[in-house]
Amino acid sequence: MVLLPRIASVYVSAGAASILFFVVGTICSWSSPAIPKLQNATENPFGRDVAPDEISWISSLVTLGAIFGPFLFGYSADKLGRKYSLLCAGLLALVSYVLMAVGTAVEVYYLARTLAGLSVGGTFILLPMYLSEISESHNRGLVNCAAGCSCCMGLLLAVCLGPYKPIGFFNAILAIPALAFLIVFGILGVESPVYFLKIEESDKAEMALHHLGRTPEMIKKEMAEMQTEYQVKDDHFNPLDIFTSKILLKGVVSAMGLLVFQQLSGINAFTFYSAQIFNEAGTDLPAHYCTMIFIFVQFASSFIAAFLVDRSGRKVCLLISGIGMVLTEGTISLFCYMKAKQYDVSGLGWLPVVALTTFIVFFNIGYGPLPWIIMAEMFSTKYKSFACAFVATVTWTVSFLVTKCFPLAIRVLGMDVVFLACTVCCMLAIVFSSFYIVETKGRSLQEIQLILSK
């Protein structure tokens, strides 16, 4: 039962759910301020020096855990419901931070970061799915992008707090938002009406729409639109349908292509290793200040997509985003090449900071929030949980490989080659989004399925 029904609306439920994205943001940027402390035997809780390979695992186990999160939570979304699955993801994040707050062994950190990864992997399919199902066609993009802003707030908190606090205290503070999510969303969150229709409880679906602020007329209209798809008993589910059905395959390729290109842009590696990148680039400012600037710009620019996505459309935002990422990463690659060849770049120490922060602005316009939103829009309810889990698992596998191999690639190939490779991937992303992705702005989920069938 939802308390305070008079104020309960799509924005209240979405806002409460978005606290989990804030938590995920802290998980994703945790490595940048925490790793320097873990590398210092006097500051880490282990009482010894930590090997580079151990540091690499602590950083990358989040993405490894995220590989398994989508199928776990995709299954629970259909069995427990979207709301309770989100609460379970939040609980895993809370346990992760508590373990790191009290843990004194590297193995405890391995376990904690794996649990955090499960939470991250589950959240990135559950939250876009949930927000798309509780919102309306005209505000679906806005609601999802606004939730993404809370993720950037979490990124910002971690990088601003981490350098100045002991590692145990830092982890304890980051456990508080996870606890707040469990309380606030547990009280104010409304279960998805789509889930209730899926389990054939129409009365509860209507009540959920009422709590989400729909008028009686809107409830009748939305129920009529959803009834056919969600209550047809056709329904033997075959996972192989995602490869044999034209509609499903196009949806899978669209979502997976965007998300894989998102990871190949290097975004997670840049976030996890931002301090190292700025050190290697030889910037004039201390690396942790550069990281704060980088994340602050990421937070500030996250509002741009929320403003543009339901005005300009998904494809325009993706095109602008891709072009901007090519220009900025190409600039960083050229700078690193000149530095490696011992050209005089002493007067250009500001350039990597400006280029990488400009990169994050363009990333947030399109390839940051939109691939996850488009993934949630691509599939009918019958296949949504499995298809989203499949796409997200592939995405996090790519993310794990990129994150794990990133330090090695810098050592072996050089930072100029790494950024050049990311630039080429962004060029391919422009071609893909221009010629393959369908526009979903302002269209109902049923209309999108019709477009994919053509």
As a whole number of angstroms, the distance between CA 209 and CA 220 comes to: 10
Domains and CATH numbers, the chain: 10-191+240-452 (1.20.1250.20)
In this prediction, residue 53 carries a pLDDT of 82
Please give the structure tokens belonging to residue 205. Answer: 């679906």
In this prediction, residue 5 carries a pLDDT of 46
For residues 366-391, one letter each, b for 16 or more C-beta atoms within 10 angstroms of the residue's C-beta and e for the rest, the string is bbbbbbbbbbbbbbbbbbbbbbbbbb
In this prediction, residue 6 carries a pLDDT of 42
pLDDT digits (tens, 9 = 90+) for 257-313: 999 999 899 886 676 666 666 666 666 667 667 777 777 887 888 788 777 777 788
As a whole number of angstroms, the distance between CA 100 and CA 44 comes to: 11
pLDDT digits (tens, 9 = 90+) for 57-85: 888 888 888 889 998 998 899 899 999 99
In this prediction, residue 275 carries a pLDDT of 64
Report DSSP state, residue 282: T
In this prediction, residue 2 carries a pLDDT of 46
Distances (CA, A) of 12 to 151, 184, 211, 212, 377: 17, 10, 10, 8, 21
In this prediction, residue 236 carries a pLDDT of 61
Whether 119 contacts 93, CB under 8 Å: yes
User: Where does 103-215 have alpha helices with state H?
Assistant: 106-134, 140-161, 167-188, 193-198, 202-211
From the list 28, 19, 308, the residue with the least C-alpha distance to 186 is 19
Q: Show the low-confidence residues of the chain (pLDDT under 70).
A: 1-8, 228-237, 268-269, 271-285, 287-288
In this prediction, residue 412 carries a pLDDT of 87
Distances (CA, A) of 433 to 97, 129, 314, 442: 37, 21, 9, 18
- Contacts within 8 Å (CB) and 24+ apart, 165-168: 166/37, 166/43, 167/34, 167/37, 167/38, 167/43, 167/44, 167/45, 167/100, 168/45, 168/100, 168/101, 168/102
- Determine whether 397 is exposed, middle or buried from the number of CB atoms within 10 Å of its CB (0-12, 13-18, 19+): middle
Q: Identify the helix (H) or strand (E) that includes residue 250.
A: helix 246-264
In this prediction, residue 276 carries a pLDDT of 63
Please give the structure tokens belonging to residue 356. Answer: 């990488």
From the list 401, 397, 377, 396, the residue with the least C-alpha distance to 387 is 377
Q: What are phi and psi of 189, to 5 degrees?
A: -70, 135
As a whole number of angstroms, the distance between CA 203 and CA 210 comes to: 11
As a whole number of angstroms, the distance between CA 445 and CA 354 comes to: 39
Give the count of beta carbons closer than 10 Å to the beta carbon of residue 244. 9
As a whole number of angstroms, the distance between CA 428 and CA 302 comes to: 23
